């Protein structure tokens, strides 16, 4: 049963991918610190972060939107892996691990984001563990007191 975003396999894979990319970029040339390394790390951290944020928003629409953003970040990571490999950066075994994890995350997010009614461990259907609301009922409208 999913009781938290941490229970989502796609989020767990995103964390694994983040750690793999950090290990991979640790051996990159120092002159890439503010270039490829920074871009790589920002993109990869965005993957599980957006999955968690979407889950926490509490609506199907928001969740699907944030999964779409996570998938886009995965494609950024894919591009950066290609560039780094072509430049001859990093350990080949770490590249292989990162590529494998990237494929798992990438394959998980489109089915999440495009499905209208999800089932299984990543279900978006309302249940006892997480009550997704429609966008209209997501947040109550706040009223501002003019005297404050």
Q: Which two tokens stand for residue 24?
A: 């991979």
Backbone angles phi, psi at 88, to 5 degrees: 80, 25
119 vs 17 pLDDT, higher one? 17
Rounding to the nearest 10 degrees, give the CA dihedral for residues 92, 98, 104, 110. Answer: -120
Residue 108's pLDDT is what? 66
Arch. (CATH architecture) of 5-114: Up-down Bundle (1.20)
Structure tokens at 94: 């770490």
Q: Are 105 and 15 in contact (CB under 8 A)?
A: no
For the segment 83-112, what is each residue's pLDDT rounded down to a tens digit? 999 999 988 888 888 888 887 777 666 555
CA 25, 28, 30, 35 dihedral sign is negative
Report DSSP letters for 45-104, one per residue. HHHHHHHHHHHHH-BHHHHHHHHHHHHHHHHHHHHHHHHHHHHT-S-HHHHHHHHHHHHH
Mean local confidence (pLDDT), 70-95: 91
Q: For position 101, what pLDDT does the model report? A: 84
Return the pLDDT at 124. Answer: 42
For range 27-55, the mean pLDDT: 94
The residue extents of the domains of the chain are: 5-114
Statement: residue 139 has pLDDT above 50: no
């Amino acid at each position: 049963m999913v009781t938290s975003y941490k229970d989502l396999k796609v989020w767990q894979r995103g964390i694994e991918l983040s750690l793999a990319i950090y290990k991979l970029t640790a051996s990159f040339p120092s002159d890439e610190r503010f270039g490829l390394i920074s871009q790589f790390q920002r993109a990869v951290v965005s993957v599980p972060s957006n999955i968690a944020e979407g889950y926490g928003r509490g609506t199907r629409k928001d969740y699907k939107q944030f999964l779409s953003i996570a998938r886009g970040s995965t494609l950024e990571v894919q591009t950066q892996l290609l560039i780094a490999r072509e430049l001859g950066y990093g350990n080949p075994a770490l590249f292989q691990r990162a590529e494998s994890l990237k494929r798992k995350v990438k394959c998980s997010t489109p089915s999440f984001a495009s499905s209208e009614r999800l089932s299984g461990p990543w279900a978006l259907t309302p249940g006892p563990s997480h009550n997704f609301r429609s966008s209209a009922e997501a947040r109550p409208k706040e009223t501002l007191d003019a005297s404050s």
